[in-house]
């Protein structure tokens, strides 16, 4: 399971529908809900106060992420962010999953503003012990795509050569 309305899931769905994605110099993090649930249960059971950052310690560069989407049946052309943004702001249909994010993209003319912050996670990782988040890679992304398809939120994958 996942949150179909979060930024990454909307980007996957919306860009798959468009067949084009912004070429971004950033990292992509996917944090599965089952890992978050297990991590929260573990942290609550410890009973210690703290600030816990539940992130994925092994993100994937956006370019590799888009290439992996292509290998999994959702090929997308990478275009410069400014070109992608202009197209989205001018022509994105209201049915596209990215449509609710148009104000977000309108306010961000520079691709650098889309970079996500990195959080210090050493205390969280120490508190969680052997519980680890699966890396962003083929297995995790394939699972996310299968969930989106099962929920009717993503079309069928195209055969890859």
Q: pLDDT tens digit string along 37-89?
A: 999 999 999 998 889 999 999 999 999 999 999 999 999 999 999 999 999 99
Strands 60-61 and 27-28, how do they pair? antiparallel
Q: State the Cα–Cα distance between residues 135 and 140, nearest whole angstrom.
A: 7
Q: Is residue 161 predicted with pLDDT exceeding 70?
A: no
Contacts of 60 (CB under 8 A, 6+ apart): 27, 28, 68, 135, 136, 137
The per-residue pLDDT of the chain, averaged, comes to: 92
The answer to whether the pTM exceeds 0.85 is yes
Interatomic CA distance for residues 39 and 69, integer angstroms = 27
Between CA 96 and CA 113 the distance in angstroms is: 22
């Amino acid at each position: 399971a996942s949150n179909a309305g979060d930024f990454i899931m909307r980007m996957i769905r919306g860009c798959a529908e468009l067949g084009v994605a912004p070429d971004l110099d950033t990292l992509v993090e996917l944090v599965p809900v089952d890992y978050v649930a297990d991590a929260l249960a573990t942290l609550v059971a410890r009973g210690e106060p703290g600030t816990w950052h539940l992130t994925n310690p092994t993100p994937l560069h956006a370019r590799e992420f888009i290439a992996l989407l292509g290998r999994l049946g959702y090929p997308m052309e990478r275009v410069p962010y400014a070109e992608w943004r202009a197209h989205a702001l001018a022509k994105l249909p209201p049915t596209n999953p990215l449509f609710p994010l148009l104000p977000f993209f309108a306010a961000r003319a520079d691709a650098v503003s889309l970079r996500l912050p990195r959080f210090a996670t050493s205390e969280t990782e120490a508190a969680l012990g052997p519980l680890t988040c699966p890396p962003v890679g083929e297995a995790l992304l394939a699972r996310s795509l299968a969930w989106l398809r099962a929920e009717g939120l993503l079309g069928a994958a195209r055969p890859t050569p």
